[in-house]
Amino acid sequence: MSRFVQSMKVMKHAATFLLPPSAVSATDRLAQTYSLVVLNQQIPKFTPLLWSHAKLRICADGGANRIFDDMPKLFPDQNPLNIRHRYVPNVIKGDMDSLRPEVGKFYSGKGSEIVDRAENQDTTDLHKCISFIREQTPACDHSNLCILVTGALGGRFDHEAANLNVLYVFSDMRIVLLSDDCQIRLLPKAHQHEIHIQSSVEGPHCGLFPIGGPSVSTTTTGLTWDLCTHRVHVFC
């Protein structure tokens, strides 16, 4: 193994946000701070779990409609209004071309901050939300921050591709795109990576592919079919 590879900093990844908070060790809870961004696509069935882990919950424009309409469907035995009162975003942000007036009025009445950025059409709603989170987070805390994004996959392909591009634009931040059957994260090339699998809720398949340029030295251990040498480690 080259001296360069040996000297690279190790970045560890674990989807403990898919586990109930009570099942996550105190050490892991202290090591990671989560923010949640909800986009205007179908929310995963585990969204309440993500909500419980997050310190900051942001709906990107029509994402607030999804929480208002779809979160009660995850609790069919409970009063929908009670669910809406329970799950109130801290911020609703975007160009406000999708947010329904009655939804905005409901959440603003519950204390949500509505941040209208309709004047800026050069970036997507997700880009605006990530920028907002970075601005609100002290620089010293960026290494412990992980941003969870629901609704980033599926729907229009140009929107999906733009969401993937956000991972590259904000490559200095931990961002995870989530759907019911998939999670996507960027593995920055300046690091070695350890991916710790939560086998009770993840797997069995995974894929690695380059974004922003060709891959010339990516290697793995721990997969059924490994690439050669040792820079990405997967633990089950």
Q: For 102-136, what is each residue's pLDDT tens digit?
A: 999 999 999 999 987 666 677 888 998 999 998 88
pLDDT tens per residue across span 198-233: 777 777 788 887 776 777 677 788 778 787 754 566
What is the amino acid identity at position 37? V
Mean pLDDT value across the chain: 84
Map out the domains of the chain as residue ranges.
3-235
- Express as a percent the part of the chain with pLDDT over 90: 40
CB within 8 A of 122, min separation 6: which ones? Answer: none
What is the amino acid identity at position 38? V
CB 20 within 8 A of CB 49: yes
Structure tokens, 86:
């329970």
* pLDDT at residue number 230: 45
Q: How confident is the model at residue 157 (pLDDT cuts 50, 70, 90)?
A: confident
How many Å separate Cα 196 from the centre of its chain? 17
Q: What's the topology of domain 3-235?
A: Rossmann fold (3.40.50)
What average pLDDT does range 175-194 have in this prediction?
86
**DSSP state letter for 28:** H
pLDDT tens per residue across span 35-75: 999 999 999 999 999 999 999 999 999 999 999 999 999 99
Tell me how far apart the alpha carbons of residues 116 and 61 are, in angstroms, rounded to a whole number: 9
